[in-house]
């Protein structure tokens, strides 16, 4: 029998943690090894318990989920973080993935399949909530075909730079950068910046800061 996947639950609301624990108690291949009520406790327990997966609330007082994720992965790069959030904004998705999270799931999703999401990140997938539009490129297809200039611009996009900032750095016009950005997205079949960042990171097209 396979080893069970060990999970640490992190959320500042006890009722939410209890609900997630009940969901996971029904999964025969998953076991909850601990719970944390804030980011600081999550960092401590991750070091102490060494869970395979950390289900991390994004918005918490004090040390938030993004900060906790970065600090945990600095010491335990093998840990897998599944970020849970109430917010679908591209910026937050991009920040979570840049921090090292392997998935971003909305807490209020009526069809939240927490066990399935955990299994998928353990299997090496990047998991995005179904309410966030996902292009075919995120389903494992790797076909970048980008030029060196496009890869350079892609790196700057992942770093969070605007078209204007990229243009200034590369001594190009903002319009030229906009054309490059559009060409990159067309080449990868991607239509949102957050999805572009996910693809670039997961497929090793860029270096993380």
Q: What CATH number does the domain containing 159 carry? A: 1.10.10.10
What string of DSSP letters covers 49-116? H--SEEEEES--SSS-HHHHHHHHHHH-TT-EEEEEES---HHHHHHHHHHT-SEEEETT-TT--HHH
Dihedral over Cα of 109, 112, 117, 118: its sign: positive
Q: Are strands 80-85 and 30-36 parallel, antiparallel or unpaired?
A: unpaired
Considering the domain boundaries, does residue 208 fall inside one?
A: no
End-to-end C-alpha distance for the chain, whole angstroms? 39
Bridge partners for 105 per DSSP:
84
Which pLDDT value is given to residue 29?
94
Which pLDDT value is given to residue 149?
87
Distance CA 163, CA 40 (A): 36
| Coil/strand/helix, residue 137 | helix
CATH number at residue 90: 3.40.50.2300
Distance CA 55, CA 49 (A): 14
Which pLDDT value is given to residue 51?
97
- For the chain, which residues score pLDDT lower than 50? 1, 134-143
pTM over 0.85: no
If residue 6 lies in a helix (H) or strand (E), which one and from where to where?
A: strand 5-10
Which pLDDT value is given to residue 117?
93
List, for residues 16-69, the tens digit of each pLDDT value. 999 999 989 889 999 999 999 999 999 999 999 999 999 999 989 889 999 999
Q: Are strands 53-57 and 5-10 parallel, antiparallel or unpaired?
A: parallel
Bridge partners for 1 per DSSP:
none
Domain boundary among the residues 106, 132, 158 is at: 132
* Residue whose C-alpha is closest to residue 132's, from 66, 188, 197: 197
Bridge partners for 32 per DSSP:
7
Domain boundary among the residues 102, 132, 162 is at: 132
Domain boundary among the residues 98, 132, 166 is at: 132
Domain count, the chain: 2
């Amino acid at each position: 029998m396979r080893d069970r996947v060990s999970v640490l639950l992190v959320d500042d609301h006890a009722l939410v943690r209890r609900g997630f624990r009940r969901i996971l108690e029904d999964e025969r291949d998953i076991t909850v090894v601990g719970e944390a009520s804030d980011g600081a406790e999550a960092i401590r327990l991750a070091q102490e318990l060494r869970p395979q997966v950390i289900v991390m609330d994004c918005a918490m007082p004090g040390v938030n989920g993004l900060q906790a994720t970065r600090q945990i992965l600095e010491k335990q790069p093998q840990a897998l973080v599944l970020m849970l959030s109430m917010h679908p904004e591209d910026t937050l998705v991009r920040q979570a993935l840049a921090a090292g999270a392997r998935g971003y799931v909305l807490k209020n999703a009526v069809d939240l399949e927490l066990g399935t999401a955990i299994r998928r990140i353990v299997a090496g997938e990047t998991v995005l909530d179904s309410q966030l539009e996902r292009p075919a490129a995120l389903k494992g297809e790797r076909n970048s075909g980008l030029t060196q200039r496009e890869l350079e611009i892609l790196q700057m996009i992942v770093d969070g730079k605007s078209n204007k900032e990229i243009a200034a750095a590369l001594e190009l016009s903002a319009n030229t950068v906009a054309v490059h950005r559009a060409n990159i997205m067309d080449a990868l079949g991607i239509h949102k910046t957050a999805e572009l960042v996910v693809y670039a990171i997961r497929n090793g097209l860029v270096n993380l800061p």
